[in-house]
């Protein structure tokens, strides 16, 4: 009887609902952050061009990647700077 009332009130299997919601969220995140390799390379080059107006960069050690987690998507860049240009 209790399970019938819970279903009637919309409280059915909250853990299953939560799992499904999390899976959907992950699929949406992957879809939103799907950046083809050539587009990622173009973005990297454009960012470098802008930065090189202001700083000298260690291009060999440059690292850019897309990270997903905690409901967010982030572009993470590790850009070693040799010196600031004047």
Q: Which of 75, 68, 76 lies closest to 22, judged by CA?
A: 68
Are both 13 and 39 inside the same structural domain?
no
Are both 49 and 60 inside the same structural domain?
yes
Which tokens sit at 12? 């059915």
How many folded domains does the chain comprise? 2
Tens of pLDDT, residue by residue over 36-76, are 778 878 888 898 899 999 999 988 888 888 787 787 778 88
Are both 79 and 68 inside the same structural domain?
yes
Are both 28 and 61 inside the same structural domain?
no
Question: What's the rounded mean pLDDT across residues 27-37?
Answer: 63
CA distance 28 to 4: 33
Q: Which domain holds residue 58?
A: 35-86
DSSP for 23-86 reads HHHHHHHHHHT---HHHHHHHHHHHHHHHTTTEEE-GGG-EEEEEEETTEEEEEEE--EEEE--
pTM for the full predicted model: 0.53
């Amino acid at each position: 009887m209790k399970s019938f009332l819970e279903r009637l009130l919309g409280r059915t299997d909250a853990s299953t609902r939560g799992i499904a919601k999390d899976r959907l969220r992950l699929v949406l995140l992957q879809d939103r952050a799907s950046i083809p390799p050539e587009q990622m390379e173009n973005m990297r080059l454009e960012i470098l061009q802008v930065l090189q107006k202001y700083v000298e960069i260690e291009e060999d050690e440059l690292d850019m990647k897309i990270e997903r987690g905690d409901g967010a998507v982030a572009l993470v860049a590790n850009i070693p700077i040799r010196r600031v240009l004047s």
